[in-house]
Structures are given as structure tokens and as C-alpha cells.
Amino acid sequence: MKSKKPRIAFIGMTSCKGCFFEFLLIGRKLVNLFENIEIRNFWLLKEFNDEKGEYDITFMDGAVSTEREAEELRDVRGRTKFLIAFGTCACWGGIPSIRNYSKDYRKIVYPKETKHPPKDSVDPIDKHVKVDYYMRGCPINEEEALEVIKDLLVGKKPREKDYSVCVECKKRGTRCLLKEGIICYGPVTYAGCNAPCPAVGTPCDGCRGPLPDGNLGAEVDMLKEKGITMEEIKSVFTRYAGSSEKFKEVKE
């Protein structure tokens, strides 16, 4: 008899695979979850995978850095009902896309011809295919991952958090680092992580990417007033989400 459980795939492109490991660290709750889903493709867990099948949900990790990855992505999209951009690399290009800002990387990193040569740019996956849900974060947040899967299991479309990390600081009662003179990018960053960094005294450095209606201009003015140079500000912005159109609004 054919299984009625949702068929899930975890597929990786260019990334450090930290999001996959973060997912597996969910531990016990994950074991309960696995009773209700069918993992069809997850090379980190299984030796034999259904690499060409149809999937109900695909967690697509990583940025697109070669033509081969772009082709694979299009192929998977055609076989998937619901596609999740899994982690900041898939959502924004992430750390691998830093190479978009270096002219010499190709000479330095790939001095010889490679079998799958790098594309001219490293892209977020929505540059190539339609994305149904953006699970941001470097790495992803386990609570969000569980919530999204549970929603999908009961036929509900998961909702992205369209407010800033500051809201989550307020919710959990974290003292504001900015008020203490510490630079923090939380006011312009997508929530969904439950603000773990400020909670332990570490400023948010924007790993979930820029909020569409975040006041980037005001954040930049405030950072400049505190003596942060435009070069430093840009390097934080481009570390995770350099592909974002939002950053183009920033005036020098």
C-alpha cells in the first residue's frame, strides 16, 4: 500500500550545510516528527535516496553558484509541490555570495579549470525558481522549522514573521543593546529567530536579512553617528544578504 505521509526532501547546493546540522540537532522532537513524514531524500541521513521522485515539500539549502546547480534546482522545482528556501544562503545568497564582491576570487580559489565551473554570480534560489516559503537564518531556527512542518502537515500555509528582531527582544524582555551604545542591526532585520543573540549580550548582525519595510536610512544614520564607517556598514549588509535590492536604497 502506498504511503500517505508527506514526501519530504532535503537538498543542498552551495553552503556550509550548517542549516542541515541545525535541523538534525532538533533531536527528540524530530524523532516524533519523522513518524508523520516520509523522508525521501536526505543524504546526510540516508545512504540510499530517491533523487528523481516527486516531493510534497523540499527544503532547498544553499545558494546557486554553478550552472549545474541552477539546472538541478529547476528540475527539483518541477517535482515539488512546496519549495522552502532553507537558510540564508538559499534566501539571499548568504556567505557564499561574498565572492560577488571580489574580482580576483576565481584566480585565487580556482586556479585550474574545474569540472563544474562557477557562475559569474552566486544567487539566491528565487533568482531561478519560485519559492513558497523563506526560512531565513544563518543557521535556520529549529522552532521555526518545526512550526513550518507542523503547519504544512495540517494543510496550513506557514506565515513568515514580517517584523523586526527588536519585536522579539521586547517579547522576551531582553534589554536593548543599542540603548547601551552597542551597535545592533536588529531594527532592520527579519524576525523569526526569537532574538537569541541580544539575549546573551551579542548584537544582531542581520543574519536573517533586511526587512522590506525596515528603516535602513535611519539605521545607517544612527550607525554613522556612532562612528561606524560606510565600508563597515556595507560589509555587514553584504555578509548575508548582498543580493537584497533593499541595500541599494542606502545612501553614502
| φ and ψ of 36, to 5 deg | -105, 0
Q: How far is CA 181 from CA 97, 206, 226, 230, in A?
A: 30, 17, 8, 18
188 binds ligand SF4 (CB under 6 A): no
Contact 126, 56 (CB under 8 A): no
204 binds ligand SF4 (CB under 6 A): yes
Figure out which of the listed residues 177, 216, 220, 241 binds ligand SF4, where binding follows CB under 6 A.
177
196 binds ligand SF4 (CB under 6 A): yes
89 binds ligand SF4 (CB under 6 A): no
| φ and ψ of 7, to 5 deg | -90, 120
Give Cα 48 distance to the centre of its chain.
27
Number of residues that bind ligand SF4 (CB under 6 A): 21
Q: Which amino acid is at 185?
A: Y
19 binds ligand SF4 (CB under 6 A): no
Cis amide leading into 124 (omega within 30): no
String marking each residue 155-174 x if it binds ligand SF4 according to CB under 6 A: ----------xx--x----x
Q: Where in 120-139 is the site for ligand SF4 (CB under 6 A)?
A: 137
Q: How far apart are CA 189 and CA 204, in angstroms?
A: 8
183 binds ligand SF4 (CB under 6 A): no
Figure out which of the listed residues 6, 198, 214, 242 binds ligand SF4, where binding follows CB under 6 A.
198
Give Cα 225 distance to the centre of its chain.
30
197 binds ligand SF4 (CB under 6 A): yes
Q: Summarize as ranges the residues that interact with ligand SF4 (CB under 6 A).
A: 137, 165-166, 169, 174, 176-178, 184, 186-187, 189, 193, 195-198, 204-205, 207-208
